[in-house]
Structure 1
Amino acid sequence: MGNAQSNGVEREAATGRHGGLPRLQAITEGGRRGRGGQAKLPPGTTKSLPEDWPYIEECLDNVLLFHQLDKGTQRKIVQEMYERKVTAGEILIKEGDTGAAASELFVVKDGEFEVLERRHNVNMRVNMKQRGNCFGEVALLYNCPRSATVAATQDSVAWVLDRDILRYYVREVTVENEGEVFLNSVPLLASLSREDRVRLLQALEEKVYDRDAWVIRQGETGDAFFIIKQGEAVVYQETEQGLRKVNHLFKADFFGERSLLRDEPRGASVQAATQLVCLVLKRDKFTEVLGKRHLEEIMAREKSAPVVTTRLMRLQAKGMPPHMPAEVLLKRKRKGKNGTDAWEVVRARGHLDEVHSLRATSSPGEKQSNDANTLVLTEGPVLGGGAFSRVSIVTEETTKRSYALKRMRKSAVVQCPEHVFCEQAITRNTAHMFCIRQYASFQDKYHLYLMFDLMLGGDLMDVLVAEAKVIKRRDSQGGWKRGCFAPKVKMLKGMDENLAKFYIASIVLALEYLHENDIIYRDLKPENVFIDQQGFVKLGDFGFSKVLEHGKRTYTFCGTPGYVAPENIVAQGYNNSVDWWGLGVLLYVLLTGRQPFSSPKTDDPMVVMRRIVNDNWPIKYPPYLSPNAKDLVSRLLERKPLRRLGMGPSGVEEVRRHKWFDGLDWDALHARKLAPPRKPKDDSAKRLRELVDTERKQRKEPKESSEELQECEMVFAAF
């Protein structure tokens, strides 16, 4: 949701007199799927020449993602680059371009380019690029609008590096060099030594399945185990009502591991959702490589009471309820042609299990409206919006209870459906006092909908803006003057430490719950922490969250610049360590009103991310921070994940026991028996009026083609 339940427009106070933080949009690499090495060359281009490879490598040495790769991988990437001729006057990059037009980095081979930025409706030249210069680096990290226009001033040639090519080799080489991480991520094989895992990797066979092909069928006797190398798959189970989707699998997910142990019928069917590449391990190969002893030990361990209990708890925590069709009627006001208000009814399809749970909240004897399988919602004011979504208040007709309804345009999220399905599955099964809960999900022709707890107290960015102030403090950190002789300087101060402690401790409990259930959050920031009417917080916007079992790593670059962890940026795999890093950034922001990596001030996300990954770049702490607060932030912002607070043997207990939390009653907080130190201010009416005006100006009618709508319908058929 980004800032979905609060003002999507930057507050004047956030960017004005306090010099504070603007609201930032989360990002993900997204983009085109299914593309890898040996990609087809675009028309009118030629492959880079072998004699140019050493020079290109030298030019790319300062590029963040390229620099941290080994020489062999760098050479593979350079070999996939191509030359593009650009005639004098031709625009190579256009400011504001997104998608395929914003996915490439360029290195000048010959000629010259001018860089233009539009300022006060005038294109101004801000830079020149000659032979050896690189530009467009941010495109290698994620999809965002181009920040400038680049045009050739003479006939020129540029070498081109595509984001998909770079990401392909970063990931594939990581798997080649540390391929056993795949097998290590499988609980069934976690006890194997590194040598055994390497030997098993050599026994894996690669198989390719076309889209919609069945990989395994329920009831068949299995003898092979599968790890997804590329693509996506859907898991179905046969029920009396027909096929029921029970899971959606992505890269590095696995299935069929029970077949390594014994002959038994498959418990589910797996179908390729895209072209699917799997690494396949057959039982006879497993026994041949490791012998029967390992197989017998694994079987004995899988039957042990602790393993069975853990498996049952995990299934209960993550099991998806059956999807039974139900109708949703969404009533909303529209301006008619004569200027009067008119009611519009949008029909959508949802799930009976969720609708039924809402019906169960009705008062005894209260009349049920319409059919028992129909949910009627009346849409009210807009609450906020993010990059791909809008959130409004809706009221359920029977109970008159209000909720927050998140609406996502299908065409805007169709290129990264995994985020949508993960958010749907995770929030449906989340039950924690400091996490947003989902009550229903449904869709119409153009949109997907998720219905959540209504949080009218704003978010932590609202609190920070209200609490931050400019103070005068003696600066004794520089110069020759010390103590009372040091000059007083103005500096921004965030919220009080006791107030921040209440919020941060609540988020620690939320992260503890998520990590115990194998969920990483990945986008911790003030805009994603919402406040209820009592003053308690709930972690929301699970669009970038992911189920990641213990021992696994994931590779997708996503998050918000300034908050992302070093291991996320370098794209070589990460786990829940990124959440503890995010907690450190969040704490710094709440206490100081600034991000830790934005000083000296810069608007360039690449500069910020270079600082994040640079071990020698120091974080500056204002003098008013308490020693314990500074220590907690510094230990959470440890660049080595294994040395980061929260990643040690005792996990979250390391965070809880830190001296900054001394005196906090964790049990009382968990039970919501601690009085919130700050009550939300009732300024919601004004904020809602502003949001309604903004939303009306930005409202656009759908313009998707029939082909685009057909693709959306197919991708989100199981939503």
Structure 2
Amino acid sequence: MEAKLKELRQKLEKQCQINQELQNENQDLASKLKEKEKLLEELQSQELSQRLSNDSVEVRQSRAAVMAPEPIPDDMDISTTRVKKTASERAQIINAMQKNDFLRRLDEEQISMMVELLTSLDRCPGDDIIKEGTEGDSMYIVAAGELQVTQAGRNLRTLTSGDVFGELAILYNCKRTASVKAVTAVKLWCIERQIYRSIMAIKSKKKREQLMGFLKTARTFKSLRDEQLSCIIDSMEEVKFQDNEVIVREGAEGDTFYIILKGEVEVTKKVNGQQKIIRKLGQGDYFGELALIREILRTATCIALGSVTCFAIDKEAFEETIPIESLELHDDTDLPEDTCTPKKNSSVSSLQLKDLIPVLYQEGRYQGSPVTLGLGGFGRVELVTTMQHGKYFALKKISKKLIVQKRQEEHVLFEKRLMLDIECDFIVRLHGTFKDSRYIYMVMDFCSGGEIWTKLKEVRRFEENVTVFVAACVVEAYAYLHKKDIMYRDLKPENLMLDSRGYVKLVDFGFAKKLRRGQKTYSFCGTPEYMAPEIIQNHGHDFAADFWSLGVLMYELLAGSPPFSSSEPQNIYAKILDGVIKYPPHMGEAARSLISKLCRPRPGQRLGNTKNGIKDVRNHRWFNSMNWHKLRMKQINAPTVKLIRKGPCYINFDRFPFEKSLAEEDFSGWDQDF
């Protein structure tokens, strides 16, 4: 017993010595720091006002919300939800959807599906339809009657026939921001999120399978693999033609291939000066395939018989997708196998939870409290050290009960397996995992330079050379992950950390997913401002979504705010679906060019997702100053170093009060692998 007490006393003395050294180093720093912070705030305020007036950019001031993936039930029976509607009821519903900023951007098939699946709901005067603060799972359209919308007891507006409310709930599990109560007897049309998401996913999968079948019958494509055909589908666009409209004219230059989705097309050819009908084409038939592989003149005229819907791809988009000479996708083989693979540090492999000692604030309002590096939806990240190694670590502490409530068990287990397998200089390393009755713990690298998000808020926008370096680090992380068939799906400044040398590391793999090439996934997840349009539309997404978010990141770093931003999430989604990017005057032409190519609406046409893969991103002229080999070898002096403050180890992080309350215990056993 005495030996143990002696050992414990020695450990405590050593920790006191560490804390005393920190305190001695920073006694005179606190007052200087306060003065500098005050001066910095004044300068930032002045700079912000000036930039807002000059550039008209809405600066994002708060951390972005995130949407956790929610599984779609495989066995949901949607046939029971179909309700017959009169012509006037269908017209009322469609008119209501067309007036709604988000719903009107759905395609015709999606709108038709929703009209079919909406169910009827009758409520009496005084009935609560939605309660503020509760979680929502349904969207409503007012068929008849009057409702009152209130927030914190204040009347906001009145809803009447044709109004839509609660539409965000069909996308993800969100808290209601207002209450809605029936003033009179009301009739509502409503649809639940799981039904909406299930039918949209089913529709998208069936449409892809149908298009895949059509493409496989084309002689030109018979040697292509499924993943290559999938890339072609991602590059195709839906086009509509009216009755008697000429789609292809004989003798004209051809550069587009068409597949008929709906309607009939008449094919005619000039014979002896007269147009002769050759044949009629219907659903699944195609024309113009030779125009994709060589310069030709159209040999016939194709005219729409009634309204016609086609899926089309032009030669330029096709050549970006499939290399004609080899008919194989580029596999980025020039990326060395040992890229991003530092040697494992076995000295910390024997870490135990009991060995981790919290680091305490040495000054300021939280002096003596454990240092918190960040807060998240499921827990917090704390700064810890160890006696035996003398190193700092970031300890991610997550409530087990909350994970179960949000049905995120599989995602957390996958995150652990994935991160233990990752060894990349541009991705934070996981050193070990632990658990107790309340939390699971993940011990990770401590990136002392802080978050890119915090640095961006301090300077409002980055200089171009800093943005080039940050984006290049992300490209290297993407190259590593995508080669291992891993999508990241949550890129944003909050998930990028700086190490002591200013190199950028990707953190937080809660939304990452393994996906085989050519496959799609249908989860609605990510950060609203960074979501690709195909995620919002439930069309199915893949690695192309990561390249979209890279373009959004570049824009936010250069402008101070994402290209699609609003205080209302539905407005963000509407802007993303519109796809219009307004560039501030100071942003250079090369940056605009790369962002526009990364944020193309069609995922198959996005830079990074075309035939040359990520090499096309590296080779863009905006990265002309980047030596990629030196970056991988960490031989570049990072321009981000100037953003890193000097002082205590936690000086580059926001400060948070210590959370004294404990999470509820959980004994369900889902975490037995931790």
- Given that 1:456 and 1:684 are in contact with CA atoms closer than 8 Å, whether structure 2 keeps it comes out as no
Question: Aligned residue for 1:632?
Answer: 594
Q: Distance in 1 between matches of 2:534 and 2:600?
A: 11
- Cα distance 1:391–1:379, how it changes in 2: closer, same or farther (>3 A)? same
Matched, 1:453 2:445: yes
Question: Aligned residue for 2:578?
Answer: 614
Q: Distance in 2 between matches of 1:429 and 1:29?
A: 22
Q: Which runs of 5+ in 2 are unaligned?
A: 1-39, 50-58, 215-221, 231-327, 360-370
- Cα distance 1:112–1:32, how it changes in 2: closer, same or farther (>3 A)? farther
Question: Aligned residue for 2:179?
Answer: 149
Shift of 1:93: 1.4
Aligned CA-pair RMSD: 3.9
- Cα distance 1:648–1:449, how it changes in 2: closer, same or farther (>3 A)? same
Q: How does 1:85-234 map to 2 (within 5 A)?
A: 85-98=122-135, 102-118=136-152, 123-179=153-209
- Cα distance 1:604–1:31, how it changes in 2: closer, same or farther (>3 A)? farther
- Given that 2:72 and 2:523 are in contact with CA atoms closer than 8 Å, whether structure 1 keeps it comes out as no
Matched, 1:652 2:642: no
- Given that 2:373 and 2:653 are in contact with CA atoms closer than 8 Å, whether structure 1 keeps it comes out as no
Q: Which runs of 5+ in 1 are unaligned?
A: 1-10, 185-189, 199-305, 318-356, 363-367, 469-493
The 3-state SS of whatever aligns with 1:166 is helix
- Cα distance 1:316–1:497, how it changes in 2: closer, same or farther (>3 A)? closer
Q: Distance in 1 between matches of 2:549 and 2:503?
A: 20
Q: Distance in 2 between matches of 1:375 and 1:702?
A: 19
Aligned partner of 2:588: which letter? S
Deviations along 1:584-641, one digit per CA (max 9) or x if unpaired, are 111111111111123xxx31111111111114xx311111112112212222121121
- Given that 2:128 and 2:180 are in contact with CA atoms closer than 8 Å, whether structure 1 keeps it comes out as yes
- Cα distance 1:48–1:375, how it changes in 2: closer, same or farther (>3 A)? farther
The 3-state SS of whatever aligns with 1:151 is strand
Q: How does 1:391-430 map to 2 (within 5 A)?
A: 391-414=381-404, 415-430=407-422
The 3-state SS of whatever aligns with 2:548 is helix
Percent identical residues? 29
Shift of 1:459: 0.9
Shift of 1:13: 8.5
- Cα distance 1:108–1:683, how it changes in 2: closer, same or farther (>3 A)? farther
Question: Aligned residue for 1:533?
Answer: 500
- Cα distance 1:92–1:39, how it changes in 2: closer, same or farther (>3 A)? farther
- Cα distance 1:435–1:181, how it changes in 2: closer, same or farther (>3 A)? farther
Matched, 1:597 2:552: no
Q: Distance in 2 between matches of 1:171 and 1:431?
A: 34
Question: Aligned residue for 1:641?
Answer: 603
Deviations along 1:481-513, one digit per CA (max 9) or x if unpaired, are xxxxxxxxxxxxx11111111111111111111
- Cα distance 1:88–1:461, how it changes in 2: closer, same or farther (>3 A)? same
Question: Aligned residue for 2:93?
Answer: 56
- Cα distance 1:594–1:689, how it changes in 2: closer, same or farther (>3 A)? closer
- Given that 1:524 and 1:583 are in contact with CA atoms closer than 8 Å, whether structure 2 keeps it comes out as yes
Question: Aligned residue for 2:316?
Answer: none
Q: Distance in 2 between matches of 1:14 and 1:87?
A: 57
Q: Distance in 2 between matches of 1:37 and 1:74?
A: 20
- Cα distance 1:374–1:170, how it changes in 2: closer, same or farther (>3 A)? closer
- Given that 1:383 and 1:392 are in contact with CA atoms closer than 8 Å, whether structure 2 keeps it comes out as yes
- Given that 1:422 and 1:547 are in contact with CA atoms closer than 8 Å, whether structure 2 keeps it comes out as no
- Cα distance 1:107–1:625, how it changes in 2: closer, same or farther (>3 A)? same
- Cα distance 1:590–1:72, how it changes in 2: closer, same or farther (>3 A)? closer
1:431 to 416, 420, 423: 423
Give the structure-2-normalised TM-score. 0.66
Shift of 1:408: 1.2
Q: Distance in 1 between matches of 2:516 and 2:337?
A: 13
The 3-state SS of whatever aligns with 1:92 is strand
Q: Distance in 2 between matches of 1:407 and 1:592?
A: 33
- Given that 1:25 and 1:387 are in contact with CA atoms closer than 8 Å, whether structure 2 keeps it comes out as no
Question: Aligned residue for 1:702?
Answer: 663
Q: How does 1:278-297 map to 2 (within 5 A)?
A: none
Matched, 1:379 2:358: yes
- Cα distance 1:689–1:29, how it changes in 2: closer, same or farther (>3 A)? closer
1:575 to 542, 548, 561: 542
- Given that 1:405 and 1:449 are in contact with CA atoms closer than 8 Å, whether structure 2 keeps it comes out as yes
- Cα distance 1:54–1:508, how it changes in 2: closer, same or farther (>3 A)? same
- Given that 2:102 and 2:573 are in contact with CA atoms closer than 8 Å, whether structure 1 keeps it comes out as no
Matched, 1:30 2:22: no
Aligned partner of 2:65: which letter? Q
Q: Distance in 2 between matches of 1:183 and 1:439?
A: 46
- Given that 1:358 and 1:439 are in contact with CA atoms closer than 8 Å, whether structure 2 keeps it comes out as no
- Cα distance 1:173–1:49, how it changes in 2: closer, same or farther (>3 A)? same
Question: Aligned residue for 2:671?
Answer: 716
- Cα distance 1:685–1:435, how it changes in 2: closer, same or farther (>3 A)? closer
- Cα distance 1:28–1:65, how it changes in 2: closer, same or farther (>3 A)? farther
Q: Distance in 2 between matches of 1:27 and 1:152?
A: 30
Shift of 1:50: 5.9
The 3-state SS of whatever aligns with 1:175 is helix
Shift of 1:685: 6.6
Q: Distance in 1 between matches of 2:517 and 2:80?
A: 37
Query: Which structure is larger by alpha-carbon Rg, 1 or 2?
Result: 2
Deviations along 1:152-184, one digit per CA (max 9) or x if unpaired, are 222222221100000000111222222379999
Q: Distance in 2 between matches of 1:157 and 1:12?
A: 53
- Given that 1:584 and 1:636 are in contact with CA atoms closer than 8 Å, whether structure 2 keeps it comes out as yes
Aligned partner of 1:24: which letter? A
- Cα distance 1:441–1:462, how it changes in 2: closer, same or farther (>3 A)? same
Question: Aligned residue for 2:321?
Answer: none
- Cα distance 1:192–1:558, how it changes in 2: closer, same or farther (>3 A)? same
- Cα distance 1:39–1:439, how it changes in 2: closer, same or farther (>3 A)? farther
Q: How does 1:320-339 map to 2 (within 5 A)?
A: none
Q: Distance in 1 between matches of 2:629 and 2:652?
A: 36
Q: Distance in 2 between matches of 1:316 and 1:499?
A: 26
